[in-house]
Amino acid sequence: MKTRWYKDAVIYQIYPRSFCDGNGDGIGDIRGIVSKLDYIKSLGVDAVWLSPVYKSPNDDNGYDISDYRDIMDEFGTLDDWKEMVKGMHERGIKLIMDLVVNHTSDEHKWFIESRKNNSEYRDYYIWQKGRGKNGKKPPNNWKSSFVGPAWEYDKESGEWYLHLFSKKQPDLNWDNPKVRQEVADICNYWFDLGVDGFRCDVITYISKKEGYPNGSASYTVGPHYHEYIHELNERSFSKYDSMTVGEAIGITPDNATESIDESVGEMDTVFSFDHMQIDYKYGFLPAKFNLVKYKNILARWQSLPKTCQPTIYLENHDQPRCLPRFVGDYKDKREKAGMSLATAMMFLRATPYIYQGQEIGMTNCHFEEEEFKDIASLRVFELVKKICPILMPYVKKVMNRRARDHARTPMQWSADKYAGFSTAEPWMKVNPNYKEINVEDSEKREDSLLNYYRKAIRYRKGNEVIIKGGFELVYPEDKRIFAYMREYNGKKILVIANYKNKTVKFRVPEKLLYTDCKLVLSNYADAPQKLDNMTLREYEALVYELD
């Protein structure tokens, strides 16, 4: 029976390679996660989303899977994994695994066999004849997310295979019913081992238009997407008290009910991208953050029926750190800025996701060109050097603001060597600010960002106004303040967050002026107990219960 526990849950994302190294080889692993389970419990979170730990050649750090039923050697063994799950469940923490089934690794046994024209696995992947003389041009104009064509020519079979990501990540052919059954079997395998749900990687790419016409719209929320996800839900997800969240490019507030309404039997929730795209120009160049657009996008998700559960996140393994992105030059107010962002995020009607290090205010890291590790970064540099090397200084500047590498620097546990992440040199650069920004220091200070997250999570837990209440923006056109009302059964909560590193005047709406209130959360010790017109200090955040 589905309890829909995720509606009252806060979820913590772990990127295992960068979380904690348990065996001293410089790479985060499952033993490292086990050693930090008490810390995770102390946050008050309900579940962990674990980025891929399956067998993988690591072309894309685990998102290229060669065996869905075993653990990558660098991360440990299946027995280590079972111990981790047992430890999580003993602490009341659920586990959400990453389900990467739009594609596999080219080293998966299915693909190795698929390269043979007469193999039973040939139709597990998408093979097409090329265009032009002798078929030496790709079948269409689709581009890989990692730069270049989305097709790779295979001399052995004389055809092209599709890879919407790296050429070592061939796309599965979901039109083949055998593939869909394989995926359901994989899900059930992990459910039976104790998994509580899945985050479904680029799931809206699984259905491609027949004939593979030009244009990326031909593979985003394709013609059979809903049919295939509904089928997977029937064969797997619905059989367990699980939760699923889809990485859902193409799903917006306008069409979300078709995918996540409880009546449709598909995904439980999705990650939206629209609120993370407003500070980009042309889809990839950094632009100034626009708080008004940001608030209005989130308000549209809040307006969905109560049978649809939104999500909210500020960081993940694919995004740079949130502080410089959303609040500008925070200078010496890093933690206050982090508290303001946390306040606005945590009390929406949504399932909040906190990415490792976000709770202590980890920041972007400056990288020299040779220090970037992510395949996406490396492909960008490769392409620019090839077509326009004069742009390299600008591109390096852009990547030092927006590369995925920023989220993958090792977790900063202490001021010890290598930030307490490992006893050996880590696989990736440690941010030099680890001596000032780390868990050990944050634990010592009651007024730290870490302890503020704990307070916010405690207040949110079981709060019906937050879980079920309506939503109304206060001053939606204000460029400096994110404020909103939540209301349920006559109870109200007012959330106020200053997004600026300067004082800002806040005028209480007339309908709230004479309301009795109680201050329940603030990031300044001397915050006003009474709700009245006020001057908000730098990044000041306030939460009032109204009667």
- Which residues are catalytically annotated? 201, 247
For residue 330, the tally of other CB atoms under 10 A from its CB is 21
Task: Tell me the backbone φ, ψ of residue 503, rounded to 5 degrees.
Answer: -75, 145
Angle at the Cα of 320 from the Cα atoms of 495 and 149, rounded to 5 degrees: 130
Q: Which residue in the block uniquely carries the two structure tokens 């039973």? A: 120
Spatial CB neighbours of 436, under 8 Å, sequence gap ≥ 6 = none
Angle at the Cα of 110 from the Cα atoms of 105 and 115, rounded to 5 degrees: 90
Strands of the sheet containing 159-162, edge to edge, are: 127-128, 159-162, 151-154
DSSP-based three-state secondary structure for 125: strand
* Cα–Cα distance, 418 to 435 (Å, whole number): 10
Q: Which amino acid is at 538?
A: E
> Among 357, 316, 355, 318, which residue's Cα sits nearest to residue 334?
357
Strands of the sheet containing 269-271, edge to edge, are: 269-271, 243-247, 197-200, 94-99, 47-50, 11-14, 351-355, 311-313
For residue 413, the tally of other CB atoms under 10 A from its CB is 22
> Among 351, 321, 450, which residue's Cα sits nearest to residue 39?
450
Buried b (16+ CB within 10 A) or exposed e, 472-496: bbbbeebebbbbbbbbbeeebbbbb
Q: Which residue in the block uniquely carries the two structure tokens 């389970």? A: 37
For residue 86, the tally of other CB atoms under 10 A from its CB is 12
* Cα–Cα distance, 200 to 243 (Å, whole number): 11
> Among 476, 496, 491, which residue's Cα sits nearest to residue 347?
496
What is the chain's Cα-based Rg? 24
> Among 382, 373, 429, which residue's Cα sits nearest to residue 147?
382
Largest CA distance in the chain: 79
DSSP-based three-state secondary structure for 539: coil
For residue 107, the tally of other CB atoms under 10 A from its CB is 16
Buried b (16+ CB within 10 A) or exposed e, 41-53: eebbbbbbbbbbb
> Among 202, 155, 232, 190, which residue's Cα sits nearest to residue 81?
190
- Token pair recorded at residue 207: 């259905």
